[in-house]
Amino acid sequence: MTNTAKVVLVTGASSGIGEATALRLAADGHRLLLGARRTDRLEELVSKITTEGGSAAYRPLDVTDAADVRAFVSAARDRWGRVDVMVNNAGVMPLSPLAALKVDEWDRMIDVNVRGVLHGIAAALPVMREQGGGQFVNVASVGAYEVVPTAAVYCATKFAVRAISEGLRQESPGDIRVSVVSPGVTESELADSISDPRARDDMKAYRAVAIPASAIADAIAFAISRPAEVDVNEIVVRPAASVH
């Protein structure tokens, strides 16, 4: 339990890392607004958190819609008066070789993984500046540091998350903290969107060793728990047995 409860917004909160992060931060005493498209799962998650004594609410959210993200941030501010942390977690990973020409899937990754983060920044940054501080936690991937076959576009989007985050850090005069958390192979539904047979088979082997989503939630909790003068910029979390 933290001594300083923060208002934390989490996108992509209906499963995987987002869900685990919500549970961990609620247990730490933070107040949460959770967003995703699958509201039935959000409702169950909020019910679990509140039953256990935590503070959480949810709102339907499509991170590819800038107006929707602005409304999400406004809802948190209306409810609690401020926005302390924005966890830009929503992401998709429909891997395929470039030669498969799955342009619609490329566009979807760009829309969710890059524009979704930018929309989160655009919505929350003015609020944080007005209130005198805040923090962004942008969830990237080990794919932000390396490129592997079938993952060129996915890795490009995660490289972009790192670049955007570093730019934001440099442009912020100390009052806005920026953390990038990059998971290695983690138990989640992220690979369920892979439609390409080769990429799907490759991913089964790649994901043979995985860490629980709670490990990433712990890293996020660590980053936001540091004193205001400490900015944890990058955390990479991999399975101990992984070479990737």
CB–CB of 13/19 below 8 Å? Answer: yes
Residue in 85, 130, 126 with CA at minimum distance from that of residue 223: 85
Active site residue 145: no
d(CA 220, CA 214): 10
d(CA 157, CA 2): 33
Of 58, 145, 154, 206, which is the active-site residue? 154
d(CA 7, CA 85): 6
Residue in 66, 83, 64 with CA at minimum distance from that of residue 74: 83
Residue 118: how many CA atoms within 13 Å on its side-chain side? 15
Q: Please give the positions annotated as active site.
A: 154
